[in-house]
Amino acid sequence: MQKSPSASSLGPGGLDLAQAFFKPILNTDPPSSTKRHTKISVIGVGNVGMAIAQTILTQDLADELALVDAKSDKLRGEMLDLQHAAAFLPRTKINASVDYSVTAGSDLCIVTAGARQNPGESRLNLLQRNVALFSNIIPPLAKYSPDSILLIVSNPVDVLTYVSWKLSGFPSNRVIGSGTNLDSSRFRFLIADHLDVNAQDVQAFIVGEHGDSSVALWSSISIGEVPVLSFLKNQQIAYEKQTLENIHKAVVESAYEVISLKGYTSWAIGYSVANLARSLLRDQRKIHPVSVLAKGFYGIDGGEVFLSLPAQLGRGGVLGVTNIHLTDEEVQRLRKSAETILEVQSQLGL
């Protein structure tokens, strides 16, 4: 299921009309073989996958976009719908197929596919089905794009990022989970809304599991480069710790609220993942809280576990983890979050 044939071959007998429309100038060289061609593949064309694809297109992040899904009719429909918007978008070649060969040569593979939870199904059984699904997704991606970066979005993202790392055989710097990048955005929004400032002026991280055991790093929050809690202490301004806990609770519950209202989340995760894609492919070297191999950080030594830490991202994937200071309480909560994920992993028998 490839992109519709180019209109340049619509002349008599399949004549390439581009030759008639354009005459080359004199003394030219062929295009440079070193010219950068950026290709992104999105696996899964559900609400999340298509929000990511649409945001990637509007932000002009790729020269080529490949879509893969098991449902061929929906896949072709989504491909055509995006192709028909070509006049309003930066020029991007869009392909789609149920065959993973369409992803060959990708710089970034974004995985959003996942099994849906059946009524009454346990989280562990759902996870086991997703692991089985990933065993049919990750190996062909690694085969066709052995130098790519894997960006996992499917939930539970931390465990599935670990599974993808094991299945792909990639070095850990090239397997990343979207983690708490979106949670941190929600966190920044709620703090900004609470204090009536611009969210872009709020520096704040949620780390750990993308889930109930996530950790809000209150000690390092700053607004306009001013550390918030230190400022309140120095100014002798009292605050209720419960207020802080309520904001974190709202972050954890915000996705559930969106899902209860509209049935799914899509736009925010679309922007979040496109933001990560930009940092990775354009070597922005920005700091993002994403799911990375966390063993050896902050006393997390119980096993190989992926969870979110503030990491510098660039063309090589994860370039390093920020050496951010945590309070003793934050460290303990982070270790507890790691234990929560490791307990789930131990039941998978990997």
Q: What residues pair up with 95 in beta bridges, in sequence order?
A: 66
Locate the DSSP E strands across the chain. Answer: 39-43, 64-68, 93-97, 108-111, 149-152, 175-177, 202-203, 206-207, 215-216, 222-223, 226-227, 286-293, 306-314, 317-321
Q: Indicate the helix (H) or strand (E) that contains 245.
A: helix 241-262
The end-to-end CA distance of the chain, in Å, is: 35
Q: Quick one: CA torsion of 287, 36, 98, 42, rounded to 10 degrees?
A: 20
210 noted as active-site residue:
yes
| One-letter amino acid for residue 347 of the chain | Q
Q: How far apart are CA 220 and CA 203, in angstroms?
A: 8
Which of 237-243's residues contact partners 24+ apart within 8 Å by CB, and which partners? none
> Which of these is catalytic: 194, 210, 248, 325?
210
Q: How far apart are CA 328 and CA 332, in angstroms?
A: 6
| Residues taking part in catalysis | 210
